[in-house]
């Protein structure tokens, strides 16, 4: 228990001087606007979509685990005004509570993207988003190294740490680019790259940071590649890879999921998958599709040294997405760019 308290305290102190890594979801593919702003309106098989994500992490070793939630939506616009192209508009609200609500993050982003067909078999997209971020810390729940009496942390003891402002606000901006290739109705390949915090905003709970610390948020670089391969009339395979790097902290994910059609036209599907976040966790996936609604659940099985403390019980997460067509398309006049079960 003492080791866990010390590890947790060090992690929290790291967040105070902004040397930590960004929030993330294991289902990055079901959080498109946070992965890459160029995904805004990049909806191969619909015209608009709404989504919600929830992640619960480290509940096995913390009484009040880390929780991350987001709701988002995007839509294609101006399809009838731009030749072989369209615009995408969207927005995201994200919130994160780090243990005992000691550190709370709230972010609101609006995003815009432009999509242009290149011939009949490829598409290129550029996009950006900008938004407002608030970080708030509850100082009454914090414990610092000089409050450790050898056995316990006692926050009734005095501390030399002075937090000047328990709440911080700043503007943030991301840019991104996507490319998709779909030579047949059975093959779809998509790759993207984005840079988050491109404006490197200042984030600190101190008016004057301790000597040696940089209060600028480092840029985060994200790249991904995914594919849809129609194996037969009942199975579509979706291999995917993801990589991100921020201030030397990196994450690499590789895996695949399978869509299995339970009825004709894909109105009911089962999704099964497995992903490996190298050096950290194995992430099995299960999901279900009913008409235009998709629900997916993942569980992080810890493979890093942290498994000695959490017994492999890392995090669980779900994503709920609903998508559809504008009424003027009547649901059957919009060609899907990716493999589908519909004939």
333, with CB counted inside 10 A (0-12, 13-18, 19+), is exposed
Task: Give the residue from 196, 206, 214, 14 showing the smallest Cα distance to 98.
Answer: 14
Domain total of the chain: 1
Q: pLDDT digit string (tens) for 222-233?
A: 999 999 999 999
Is residue 317 one of the residues assigned to a domain? no
* Whole-number pLDDT of residue 264: 78
Instruction: Look at residue 329 in the predicted model and tell me its pLDDT.
Output: 52
Residue among 201, 194, 58 at smallest CA distance from 135: 201
Handedness of CA 97, 98, 102, 105 (dihedral sign): negative
- pLDDT at residue 12, rounded to an integer: 37
**202: in domain:** yes
Q: What is the mean pLDDT of residues 190-215?
A: 86
Rounded distance, CA 290 to CA 320, Å?
11
With 60 as the cut, is the pLDDT of residue 19 above it? no
Q: What is the DSSP string of 76-110?
A: EE-TTTSTTEEEEEEEEEEEEEETTTTEEEEEEEE
Residue 130: exposed, middle, or buried by beta-carbon count in 10 A (0-12, 13-18, 19+)? middle
Instruction: Tell me the C-alpha to C-alpha distance, in Å, between residue 232 and each of 169, 258, 274.
Output: 51, 12, 20
Could you tell me if residue 176 is inside a domain? yes
Residue 330 pLDDT: 47
At 342 the three-state DSSP class reads coil
pLDDT tens, 95-118? 998 876 578 999 999 999 999 999
Paired tokens of 304: 């890093």
The answer to whether residue 45 scores a pLDDT higher than 70 is yes
Structural domain contains residue 316: no
Are the C-beta atoms of residues 98 and 106 closer than 8 Å to each other? Answer: no
Structure tokens at 75: 């839509």
Rounded CA-CA distance 338/48 in Å is 16
Boundaries of domain holding 89: 2-267+325-329
pTM of the predicted model as reported, rounded to 2 decimal places: 0.87
Alpha carbons 242 and 223: distance in angstroms, whole number: 6
**Residue 5 confidence class, pLDDT cut points 50, 70, 90:** very low
Is residue 7's pLDDT more than 60? no
273 inside domain: no
Of residues 1 and 206, more confidently modeled: 206
- The tens digit of pLDDT for each residue in 291-317 reads 999 999 999 999 999 888 888 888 999
Chain centroid to CA 291: 24
Answer whether residue 142 shows pLDDT above 80: no
The pLDDT tens digits for 251-281 are 999 999 999 999 878 899 999 999 999 999 9
If residue 309 lies in a helix (H) or strand (E), which one and from where to where? Answer: helix 307-310
Q: Is residue 314 part of a domain?
A: no
Residue 95: inside a domain: yes
Cα angle 224, 227, 233; round to 5:
160
| 297 within some domain | no
What's the CATH number where 43 sits?
2.40.160
């Amino acid at each position: 228990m003492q080791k866990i308290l010390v590890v947790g305290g060090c992690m929290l102190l790291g967040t105070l001087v902004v040397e930590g890594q960004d929030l993330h979801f294991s289902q990055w593919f079901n959080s498109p606007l946070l992965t890459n702003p160029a995904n805004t309106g990049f909806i191969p098989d619909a015209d608009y979509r709404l989504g919600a994500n929830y992640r619960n992490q480290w509940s096995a070793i913390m009484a009040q685990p880390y929780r991350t939630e987001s709701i988002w939506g995007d839509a294609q616009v101006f399809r009838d005004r731009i030749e072989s192209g369209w615009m995408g508009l969207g927005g995201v609200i994200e919130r994160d509570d780090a243990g005992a609500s000691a550190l709370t993050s709230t972010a609101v982003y609006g995003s815009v993207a432009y999509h242009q067909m290149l011939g009949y078999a490829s598409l290129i997209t550029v996009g950006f988003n900008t938004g407002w971020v608030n970080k708030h810390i509850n100082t009454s729940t914090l414990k610092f190294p000089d409050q450790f009496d050898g056995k316990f942390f006692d926050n009734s003891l005095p501390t030399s740490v002075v937090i000047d402002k328990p709440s911080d606000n700043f503007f943030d901006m991301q840019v991104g680019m996507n490319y998709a290739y779909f030579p047949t109705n059975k093959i779809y390949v998509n790759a993207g790259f984005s840079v988050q915090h491109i404006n490197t905003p200042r984030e600190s709970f101190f008016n004057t940071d301790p000597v040696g610390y940089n209060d600028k948020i480092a840029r985060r670089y994200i790249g991904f590649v995914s594919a849809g391969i129609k194996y037969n009339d009942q199975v579509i395979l979706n291999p995917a890879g993801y990589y991100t790097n921020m201030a030397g902290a990196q994450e690499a994910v590789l895996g695949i999921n399978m869509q299995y059609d339970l009825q004709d036209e894909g109105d009911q599907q089962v999704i099964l998958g497995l992903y490996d976040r190298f050096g950290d966790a194995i992430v099995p996936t299960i999901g279900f599709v009913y008409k235009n609604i998709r629900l997916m659940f993942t569980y992080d099985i810890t493979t890093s040294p942290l498994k000695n403390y959490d017994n492999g019980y890392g995090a669980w997460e779900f994503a709920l997405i609903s998508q559809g067509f504008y009424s003027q398309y009547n649901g059957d006049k919009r060609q899907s760019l990716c493999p589908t079960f519909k004939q």
